[in-house]
A and B are shown apart, each in its own frame.
Chain A
Amino acid sequence: MTMDATRYANGSITYPGHPRGPGGAEPVETVDLSEYTAEVVTWTTSMATPPGVREPNTLAIVEFDVDGEPVRAIGQATTDEIETGDEVRPVYVEELREPGAGIREPESQAWDGYRFEPV
């Protein structure tokens, strides 16, 4: 499995990718963020979660450094023992929340992904 970010013609990278990147740049390739570690920018533990979501749900915004290019991502954390500045790595999970329990059409998107685990 891969955690695909998108690199654009101007060198910028986003996760997730878009048909056009910052400055209108066209996508040129994917970058697998699961091969990198990241630093926690901020985090929260949500105590009131929607249907099909674990409770509590600790979430973090993290920043990867891909060869000097910063890339941010949001994801669940594997633990609530996490702090701003911690180094984390992506860990694959087959199902981040229960498809069909919430309002989103189950077939409309993927439900697997990565949690962030302190290194």
Chain B
Amino acid sequence: MTRVAIIGASMTQFGQREGWIQELLAEAGLACLADANVDAADVEHLYVSNMASGEFEGQTGVMNGLAHDLDAMPAYTQRIDQTSSSGGAGIYAAWQSIASGASEMTMLVGGEKMTHRTTGEATDVIASLTHPAEYKTGVTLPSFAGLTARHYLERFDAPRESLGKVAVKNHKNGVDNPKAQFQKEVDLETVLESPIVADPLRLYDFCPITDGSAALMFCPESIAQEYTDEYAIVAGVDGATDTQVVHEREDPTIMGGVVESGSGAYEMSGYGPDDIDVAELHDMFTILEFLQMEGLGFAEQGEAWKLVEEGYTERDTGELPVNTSGGLKSKGHPLGASGVAQAVEIYEQLVGEAGPRQVEADVGLCCNVGGFGNCVITTIMESGQMEAGQ
């Protein structure tokens, strides 16, 4: 099978932006073309990861709009919506396009424009992914996080502070990411005394509402060196679903989509949890970092909190740095962009472009979660200088 390379990446400033969705997508797209030294006319497939531009802004057809704005016609284009995991789903689609031979140059741009909506409105757009029996109760994604966090803390006798330490760590990492929405450290006391959002979780346990966009350029490894000496390889990628109705899952602390997509990505890549040098996990809520660490085999069930307490996931001193970008927690979470931005961080770590966030890494993983684990994509990337499964 064709080995798929990533030869360029970009990310706009995340936060409250003046531009609307088409402008944000074009900004990241142009920057990615420049980073990869690729002409727009050479892009054969152009994918846009976006959850809800129609609902947020009344703008549909964003994939065609981007093709026109970049003068990338007649590239084949499609919009990819898998809720919050749209970015990861875009990576899977881009990988498929190259690996199958359907395209020799595919650009993926993920983006979302959200901050013009009130928190309640944005929360409702996201909660619209729930089953009618859930939606009528007024449940929100943060509510699912509160329900699950309480169960996790009570069942595994984990201290509330351990969740707060995830927020502290990711905010600390975000200080060194100039494109993060928040570049500010917070201490544990601030996290634990912040306003309650969904008991027992508080404001600093949640990611913000964000505008932003990110992009990646994919091509066969056989031509990657025509564009750059430093590239990354998509060593493994897989996606999986779990129940739409969250309470129907047998174990509230196991996200089946994380387990299944992780297993598939490990199998395809030939790597296992011990081979991963750096990971970007979908910390939309602090509790999700625990559930993904456990679902991906970095920790036993109910024990991820101990690793966080021990500093195992710290950027500069830990054995497995998690969310060196600052994570969704600090960097921000523009829905369709987030999965792409996770891979941008791993790409930059593997090609040595992460600046003050740089860690030693040959193999990296990102896990992009849609809904409350409803749809999940796990991607494993390796440095272009490595042989498969090395």
Q: Which of chain B's residues have a CB closer than 8 A to the CB of A47?
A: 195-199
When distances are taken between beta carbons in the complex, the residues of chain A under 8 Å from B247 are: 61, 72-74
Name which of B127, B135, B137 has the most chain A CB atoms within 10 A of its CB: B137
A57, chain B: closest CB distance, angstroms: 5
Contact A44 B138 (CB under 8 A): no
- B121 at interface, CB cutoff 8 A: yes
Contact B143 A42 (CB under 8 A): no
A106-B154 Cα distance, complex, nearest whole Å: 37
Identify whether the interface residues of B are mostly helix, strand, loop, or mixed.
Answer: helix
Contact of A104 among B121, B135, B197, B198 (CB under 8 A): B135
A53 at the interface (CB under 8 A from B): yes
> Is the C-beta of B16 less than 8 angstroms from some C-beta in chain A?
no
Query: How far, in whole Å, are A47 and B198 apart by their CA atoms in the complex?
Result: 6
Measured CB to CB, the nearest residue on chain A to B118 is A51
Are A109's CB and B132's CB within 8 A?
yes
Q: Which of B126-144 contact A (CB under 8 A)?
A: 127-128, 131-140, 142-143
B154 lies within 8 A of A84 (CB): yes
**Shortest beta-carbon distance from A41 to chain B in Å:** 7
Tell me which residues across on chain A come within 8 A of B125, comparing CB atoms: 103
Q: B252 on the interface (CB 8 Å rule)? A: yes
Residues from chain A with Cβ under 8 Å of B147 in the complex: 42-44, 59-61, 74
Of the four ranges (under 10, 10 to 19, 20 to 34, 35 or more), the interface on chain B belongs to: 35 or more
Q: Which of B55, B139, B142, B246 has the most CB of A within 10 A?
A: B139
| Chain A, Cβ-Cβ closest to B134 | A74
Q: How far is the CA of A47 from the CA of B200 in the complex (A)?
A: 11
B190-239 at interface with A (beta carbon < 8 Å): 195-201
Taken residue by residue from 45 to 73, chain A's Cβ proximity to chain B (1 for < 8 Å, 0 otherwise) reads as: 11111111110010111000000000011
Bound together, the chains give a CA A90 to CA B115 distance in angstroms of: 38
In the bound complex, do residue A103 and residue B55 qualify as a contact, i.e. CB atoms below 8 Å apart?
yes
Give CA–CA (A57, B137) in the complex, Å: 9
Least CB distance from A102 to B in Å reads: 5
Inter-chain contacts of B256 with A (CB < 8 A): none
A41-B151, A46-B146 given; A113·B135 CB < 8 A: no
**Interface check A36, CB cutoff 8 A:** no
Does residue A118 face the partner (Cβ distance < 8 Å to B)?
no
Shortest beta-carbon contacts, A-B, top 4: A44-B146, A53-B138, A50-B124, A109-B132
Q: Interface residues, chain A, CB within 8 Å of chain B?
A: 14-16, 41-54, 57, 59-61, 72-76, 84, 96-97, 102-104, 108-111, 113
A selection of 11 A-B contacts at a CB cut-off of 8 Å is A14-B248, A48-B120, A48-B198, A49-B120, A84-B151, A84-B154, A97-B138, A102-B124, A102-B127, A102-B128, A109-B132
